[in-house]
Every structure is written in structure tokens, then in C-alpha cells.
Amino acid sequence: MKDYATTIARKPLPVGKLIIHLVFVALCIACVFPFLVIIGTSFQNENDIIKFGYSIVPKNFTWDAYRVILHSPGTLLQSYLVTIATTVIGSIVGMWVTTSYAYAISRKDYRFRSFLAFFVFFTMLFHGGMVPSYILMVKWLGLKNTMLALILPYLISGWFVMLMKGFLQTIPEAIIESAKIDGAGELRIFARIVLPISKPALATLGLFFALQYWNDWWLTLLYVEHDNLMKLQYLLIRVLKNMEYLNSAEAIEYGLVKPGMLVPSLSARMAMCILAAGPMLLVFPLFQKYFVQGLTVGSVKG
């Protein structure tokens, strides 16, 4: 046993492998470095930012930026609420609509199977474009400044249907046949048999949906003007573009800084980014497993 361990230890790491590892370590650093700068800067003292620029390690650690934001968190909380509501509703409804459609076109004995499959596949090839969709939403459906505008457009998409179809096709026909013989209706078979055995695929789909709704700012940009319907990511766009997170008059009024002190607006911007994006950045990697599974099950070939 001991001999075995020493032989392994003595065996030099092949140069090729070492190079591969170095490549990946470099890539990984490139992936996380900017985020570390954002985190570091959010804890930095405003004077230090002006003097030394953004940096990973704060010279003088301070919570000022977070204190300023959380002192009047109304906008942030409202955006969280809108984002959570649209994400939950959109993901659940979207999963139902997508999976039930995909299930129908995955069933070989379904008469309208090929028509409906082509019907959805075609949408992946040809789009009407931004302008007609905008007129449809705003003028015909009258959805400007409504929560529905933030949900409806993403409920079903060709990609997701094809992904689920690829998975649902692998369900053995015998299972469905036997349920049919027992006299179960299609809806019952779908809800009681198909959905439970599709849990891994549903997890993947749910993750895709949640990611899409959570990270969306496009629908807000197009269809929402009211501040109380602003999604988190859109709030961040505003913060990103405006140099000043809050102006000094406001800050003094709120009693956050004394006259003559610098308002931590640069660090507050970064802190805002952390508060808005941080939670999801921690949650999504946990579900990465389903993500990778999802990519392997579905084939998009029509």
C-alpha cells in the first residue's frame, strides 16, 4: 500500500497535462477576476477609489456603500419583488405550456404531431422582428406597463420545446400504453405519469426559464416605463450608466453623510450590482448539474 502511494507521488506530472492545467487556471482567473474587482470595490472607501482606482483588496474596509443603499431600499426591494414574481410565474406557466406542447408532438400516435412540430420549428428559422412584436404588444394587446408584458413573450420558445421533445421521446411507449388500457385520459397520463418521470428534464427546463426571466431587462426596456415595475437588471442598467448612484444633496438629507464628506457613489454602484446579482450567482452554479444534463438529452434535429 505504502509502495503504491510513493510510486504515484514520484511519478512526475506529464508536461502536457501541466500545460492544460495552466490554461484552465488562466481561463478561470479571467472568468472571476472582474467579479472580484466589483466585490472589492464595493467595500472600498470613496477616497481610496478616487486615489487608487477599483481594486480587489480594499485599502480601508468599509460598509458605507451598503449602508447607503440599504438605508432607503425601497426601489431595490420593489425590483426584487417584480423580478421574483415574474420569474416564479413565468417559469411555472412556461414549463407547463412548453412541456405539454412538447409531449403532444413527442407522441408517435398523435395525428397532428408533424404539423405542430413544424409549426414550432418554423419559429426558430423565421422571425417577424422587433417592430411588429412591439406594435403587437403595445398597440394590439395593450400591455405597455403591465406585469404581463414581462412574462408573456418568453412563455414558449422553439428551443425549449425541442429540448423537451428530445427528452420526452425517450419515454418508453409501453408505459403510456398500459396507462391507456387502464382507462386514464391524456391529461391524467401527462400529469400523473409523464411529469413525474421527467423530473431531471423539468429541472433543466426550469433552470433555463428561471435564468431567462431573472436576467431579463429587455422586456422592461421595451415595454415598461413605470418605476414600480422595474426589474432588477433594468435597475442595474440605470446604475451602470449613471455615474452618481445618489447625489450629495440627497445623501446629506438622509443623514447618510455629513456635509463635507464624500458620498460613496462609486462603491455604491458596485454594491448595488452585488446586491442585485449576487444571490443568483450563488444559486445557479448549484444547479449546474441539471444544466449539463439538459444539454446532453435534447437533440434539436426536427
Partner 1 sequence: MIKLIKRNAGLSMLALPGFVLIIIFNYVPLYGLLLPFKTYRYNLGIWNSPWAGLDNFGYLFHGDALYRVLRNTILYNMTFIVLGTTLSVIIALLLYELSRRFVKAYQTILFIPYFISWVVAGFAFRSLFDMEYGVINRLLVSLDREPILWYSDPKYWPYIIVIAAVWKGLGYSSVIYYAALMGIDSEYYDAAKIDGASKIRRAFSISVPMIKPIIIMLVILQIGSICYSDFGLFYNVTLNSSLLYKTTDVIDTFVYRSLIDLGDIGMASAAGFFQSIVGFCLVLITNTIVKKINPDNSLF
Q: Residues 156 to 185: which contact partner 1 by CB under 8 A?
A: 156, 161, 185
Per CB under 8 A, 80 contacts partner 1: no
Q: How far is CA 32 from the centre of its chain?
A: 18
Residue bearing cell 421521446: 169
Site residues for partner 1, window 36-65 (CB under 8 A)? 37-38, 41, 49-50, 52-55
Residue 165's Cβ-side half-sphere holds a number of Cα atoms within 13 Å equal to 24
273 near 76, Cβ under 8 Å?
no
What backbone torsions phi and psi does residue 165 show, to the nearest 5 degrees? -60, -45
Q: Are the CB atoms for 220 and 231 separated by under 8 Å?
A: yes
Task: Name which of 2 and 243 has its Cβ closer to partner 1.
Answer: 243
160: amino acid identity, one letter: F
Give the shortest CB-201-to-partner 1 separation in angstroms: 15
Residue 255 Cβ vs partner 1, minimum distance, rounded to whole Å: 27
Question: Which sign, positive or negative, has the C-alpha torsion 77, 82, 85, 86?
Answer: negative
Pick the piece of the chain touching partner 1 (CB under 8 A) from 65-73, 74-82, 127-135, 244-252: 127-135
CA distance 116 to 95: 18
Ranges within 261-290 binding partner 1 (CB under 8 A):
266, 269-270, 273, 276-277, 280-281, 284-285, 288
Select 85 or 222, whichever has its Cβ closest to partner 1. Answer: 222
**Closest among 292, 248, 295, 284 to 268, alpha carbons compared:** 248
3-state SS record for 186-242: HHHHHHHHHHHHCHHHHHHHHHHHHHHHHCCCHHHHHHCCCHHHCCHHHHHHHHHHC
Interface with partner 1 in residues 214-253 (CB under 8 A): 214-218, 222, 233-234, 236-237, 240-241
Q: Which of 72, 133, 145, 228 is in the footprint of partner 1 by CB under 8 A?
A: 133
**Binding track, positions 3-42, relative to partner 1; x by CB under 8 A:** -------------xx--xx-xx--xx-xxx-xx-xx--x-
Of residues 85 and 97, the one with the C-beta less far from partner 1? 97
Q: Could you tell me how far CA 5 lies from the centroid of its own chain? A: 45
Query: Which residue in 43, 65, 87, 107 binds partner 1 (CB under 8 A)?
Result: 107
| Least gap, CB of 253 to partner 1 (angstroms) | 26
Closest distance to partner 1 from the beta carbon of 116 (Å): 6
